Amino acid sequence: MFDVIIAGCGPTGAMLAAEPRLHDVRVLVLEKEPAPEGLDSAHTYLLGIPQPVVNRLLEDHAIELGAQVRSGCAVSGFEQDDEGVTVELADGERLRSRYLVGCDGARSTVRKLLGVGFPGEPSRNDTLMGEMEVGVPQEEIAAIAAEIQKTDKRFSLGPFGDWVYRVVVPAAGVSDRAEPPTLDDFKQELRATAGTDFGVHSPRWMSRFGDATRLAERYRVGRVLLAGDAAHIHPPTGGQGLNLGVQDAFNLGWKLAAQIRGWAPETLLDTYQTERHPVAEDVMNNTRAQMELLSTEPGPQAVRRLLTELMDFDEVNRYLIEKITAIDIRYDFGAGPDLLGRRLRDIDLKQGHLYDQLHRGRGLVLDGTESLAVEGWSDRVDLVADPTAGLDVPAILLRPDGHVAWIGERQQDLNDHLSLWFGKPAN
């Protein structure tokens, strides 16, 4: 008997597996693909880490915390009742769990079996993306790429290491993305777009993506939930999909643990959809807008030129950067200062960095007044009294996902919000 079974061990599933383990919740991850071969803010910069590496790091983290991961195990069916979910695998094995979460991608088996609608727009365009070596000089590649990008904003060919290039090229027609592209597919589309295949060879990885945009009507039906691409798909413009899915997992993980451990307030698990569904809608809207700007038609290109001018204004630039990086997310916790509902940055404390205090998956009261207490909730909430913390408010309550759930200085007010998010106090 497991507490949580997760279908899919991509970044969302791996992240979700780790968070409940911080509360000793029994987690099993089922990944239909066989085990992969070995791989050869305050942070205002980009890290060029390939997604397979990110996935491996998150999976290793979950395993280190005690989550079980089974590769080559596909979910073929499930039945739920008042006590839990019986999950059937493709080989006929049946497993029992208190909850099931579908993190199994855009073609989610869990979502389809659950009967949740997935409305939106189908894909109109296909694009091939991969990393591979090239056989022509960099100067020749740069000159050809610059000329193509004057009229085709979807094309990109840039260095990603010694002789390794990131290739992004439009594909003719819309194909079944369940079938990965071949090197010959890349050569054919490169010749069609650029007049040359640049001598590409020795691919590291290859994939295809479309511009379909869909959002699940519900994220939860009883004891079965959806997260990541199983709940929403959109064009990859801006690279927002990984962030969106991982934050789904971060939001859901501690709430599932609270439900399983028996201290969750009655409506806590429902806040997962309440908070994350609008975030996905916002990402879908801005990726739709970005895709329009890639059009070579005069109207979209005029808007693109205007937006380029507007981005010279610091306020506009900051607004768009915060939107694309999801720093602007503010959950609706009612009226209050702008900080309420936002994720607090990693500030310095006497005890070290703030985020170091959140590694145990617990709530945290950061008290600048040195007069507050968390008696009755100390089994699930930590207290850090630090009048030197760089806060413009007396004290805050942080949820395990780092979002500010309360701002104030009165003990009774704090107690009310501790009960709201962390349940009744212990006797």
Q: Which CATH number is 202's domain given?
A: 3.30.70.2450
Q: Are residues 100 and 17 in the same domain?
A: yes
Q: Are residues 132 and 11 in the same domain?
A: no
Nearest to 28 by CA among 53, 63, 64: 63
Last residue of a domain, one of 210, 239, 271: 210
- Residue 184 is assigned to a structural domain of this protein: yes
**Res 372 pLDDT > 80:** yes
Q: Are residues 187 and 262 in the same domain?
A: no
pLDDT at 184: 94
Q: Are residues 72 and 30 in the same domain?
A: yes
**Res 177 pLDDT > 70:** no
Q: Per-residue confidence at 174, pLDDT binned at 50, 70, 90? A: low
pLDDT tens, position by position, 263-322 = 999 999 999 999 999 999 999 999 999 888 888 888 998 999 999 999 999 999 889 988
pLDDT tens, position by position, 32-63 = 988 657 433 555 555 566 677 888 888 999 99
Which is more confidently placed, 56 or 221? 221
Last residue of a domain, one of 284, 308, 330: 284
pLDDT tens, position by position, 3-22 = 999 999 999 999 999 999 99
pLDDT at 37: 79
Which is more confidently placed, 344 or 45? 344
Q: Are residues 194 and 171 in the same domain?
A: yes
pLDDT at 38: 45
Q: Are residues 407 and 357 in the same domain?
A: yes
Q: Are residues 174 and 39 in the same domain?
A: no
Which residue range is the domain that position 356 belongs to?
348-422
**Res 148 pLDDT > 80:** yes
- Residue 293 is assigned to a structural domain of this protein: no
**Res 262 pLDDT > 60:** yes
Q: Are residues 190 and 239 in the same domain?
A: no
Angle formed at CA 248 by CA 263 and CA 115, multiple of 5 degrees? 95
Q: Are residues 113 and 25 in the same domain?
A: yes
State the average pLDDT over residues 168-177.
77
